[in-house]
Structures are given as C-alpha cells and as structure tokens.
Amino acid sequence: MNDTPGWTSPGSASPDGQDGTGVPRPASPADANGSAPQWSKEQPPAGQWQPPTAPAPGIPAPARAQSGTGWGGGPHPQWGPAPAAKPGVIPLRPLTMGEILDGAVTTMRRYWQVVLTISVTVAVISQVADILSQRYLVPGTPKVDADASPAEQLSQTADAVQSTMTGMVPAILIAMIATLVCAALLTVVISRAVLGRPVTIGAAWQEARPRVLPLIGLTLLLAVMSVAISVVAMLPGLLAGSAPLAAAGLLAGVVVVVWLGIRFSLASPALMLERQGIFKAMARSAKLVQGSWWRIFGITILTQLLIFVFSMIVAIPFTMIAMLLSPEGIGGLLSGTSPENSWSFLITTGIGGVIIGAVTYPISAGVTALLYVDQRIRREALDLELARAAGLPGYGG
C-alpha cells in the first residue's frame, strides 16, 4: 500500500466505496433502492495487470522510452545511481582491478611524452649499470669439475652463485633506486592525470626532488629488512648444517617478506603525496592496506604476471639476436662457450631491457599509485576532495 495521496495498489480494496483511483464510485440503481446490486451472468474477462514499467503483451513500448525523452519533451528519468565523475583517467569512485590497469595504461598513452621520457631515462641507467656489472664484476658461466664428488660439485655451484650475486649487487641496488625514483616522478604525473591536468617533466621533478632522499632511504630500508628476515629464517638450518631445514627457513622467510612487501607497498605514494617521513609512510601504508591485503596482493600479482609475460615476449627475440651476433654464435652456446659477457650480447640484450623498462615502469608505478588512490577513496572519501580539486560543479571550491 502506498501512502502517496491519490495512489493505491492495483486490485486492493479501496475505503469508502472508492474504486482504487481515489474517486468515489457512483451508486447504481440497485443501491438507490436499498437492495443488493444484481450483476449480469455474462461478465467480461478478468483484467491482466502488468508492471507499470513493462508494456502489455502485443503493445509496443511507449515512445518516450524509445526516444529517451519524458513527458513534455524533458529528459527521460534515469533510474539507479548517477555515473561517477571522471575528470581524468579514472572515475572518482572505488575502482575495480580493470579500471586500475586501464588508468595506468591511459596515463601512459595520454601523457606519453612525459611518461616515456622518464621511463626510458631510468631504463637506460638501469641497463648501463647491469651491462657494466655483468662485464666486469660477474664471472662467466661456472664450470663444475665433472670428476669431483657430488658434495664438491654442490660447493662449486654455490661458490659460483655467490660470486654472481655479489657482482650483481651494485646493479640491483641501482635498478631498485632508479625504479623507485621513476615511480616517484610518475606518481606526480598520475596525481595530475587523475584530475585531468597535464604536467611537465620540470614540474614533476621540482615536486619530487625534495622526496628523493627519503625514497632512497625507504628503498634501502625495505631491501635490508628483506635480506635480514631471509638470513634470520635460514640461520637455524645453516648452524645445524641441514640443507632441508635451511630451505624450509628460507621459504618461511620469503612468506614473511611477501606479507611485509604488500603491507608496505603503498608507502612510496604516501611518502610522495602526503609528504610523510619514512616510518610514517610505512605506518600509513599499513593502515591503508589493513583489511584489503588479499585484494592488493591479487592486483599486484596479476600486474607482475602481465609484466613478466610482456618481458618474455620482448626478451626472447632480443636474446636470440644477441646469440647470433656474438662471436661464438649459436654453435658456441651448444659447445659450452658462453657469450654472456661479450659486448655484442650485453648491448643487444640491454636494448631489449630498455624497451621492457620503458613500458613496464609506468604500468607498475601507475598501478601502485592508483591502488593508493583507490584505498583512500574507499576509506577516506578522497573522491570528494579530488572532485573539489578538479573544480567539478557541485563540490565546492
């Protein structure tokens, strides 16, 4: 039953002799004589009620529903929530995984000059450090003595891996720092892209420059923390001389490192956009991630999987070309001579690495920044502040 004046439900009993329209039913002649009305035995078929929004069978829909206009030529009323405002690359509401990925790609496509300049520069720096490390610091392919015992072969392999990892440490640190600096600059670009405002490289660097040192400190702290957790987890097995126990400890350490990595994954944009210190940014990230760990973990894993697939698509052809251009060629590889330290091999694979970095850095940084924006929209109604900052009507100055 509807309390609106003049409306009752179809077929319901109407008070005071009304017929359901709010208008009194006129009395019949039988009512005037004071006797019960006499109805004919032949009655028309019962009425078939239809929902108000659906036309009766065989009757076309009203013209206003087809033309999109209502009574009097006005706009057709729209049912359901109004679409969210979208001044930039994302709608200002809680985002889906597809919208986060699309926002990162749209930012790269719409502001490609700024984005590619930043990402290509960082990729070149990372690849140069990697090439120099592999050329001068990393030994060649380890040679294991075939006549040695299994324990000696295992020891030789472990020594070779240790030498390789030690030689790659400078390149890894440079790549981590360069990647995070790239993420910082791209975070500034994305923060403007959300509002639909372009930004120049100079303006992005001017805003990001005061935060570079804290970002480097954050990167090193997270790296040292990850290594320390892994070493502590393996320590019981190493002290006991038990390889299975050390492997189990390493696995447990990796689980803890992944959990902490997701928990602090939003520290970089918090440090950049909120001007937080290192530890406050980490605490801010932990607060934003709380209750959404699995969602952020899933989006991060999917993003990294897409990046890995794209990297393999680009890296495999460049690796094959590098082998063909190396002095030993494919035959040298089959004969056991490794071309990995030759200049031709390193430069060719480095070109492929630059292409990979130029595309994947903006995607990775964009997803991280938009995850931060999404979590603040969900928890703190950041969409209202963004709409106000974008100057949308109806949100204040």
Give me the pLDDT at residue 142, please.
53
- Give the domain range for residue 302: 97-210+294-389
| pLDDT at residue 163 is higher than 90 | no
| pLDDT at residue 61 is higher than 70 | no
- Mean pLDDT for 134-146 is 63
Residue-averaged pLDDT of the chain: 77
Residue 31: what residue type? D
Question: Quick check: 86 and 92 in contact, CB under 8 A?
Answer: yes
Give 243's pLDDT tier (boundaries 50, 70, 90): confident
Q: Does 336 reside within a domain? A: yes
Strand partners, 75: 69
| pLDDT at residue 166 is higher than 60 | yes
**What is the tally of structural domains in the chain?**
1
| pLDDT at residue 286 is higher than 90 | yes
Residue 229 and residue 353: Cα distance in Å, rounded? 30
- Mean pLDDT for 60-88 is 57
Handedness of CA 273, 276, 282, 285 (dihedral sign): negative
Tokens 């320590």: give the residue. 235
| pLDDT at residue 72 is higher than 60 | no
Give me the pLDDT at residue 334, please.
52
Q: Does 176 reside within a domain? A: yes
Give 340's pLDDT tier (boundaries 50, 70, 90): low
Q: Does 344 reside within a domain? A: yes
| pLDDT at residue 331 is higher than 60 | no
Residue 24: what residue type? P
- Mean pLDDT for 297-318 is 94
| pLDDT at residue 71 is higher than 90 | no
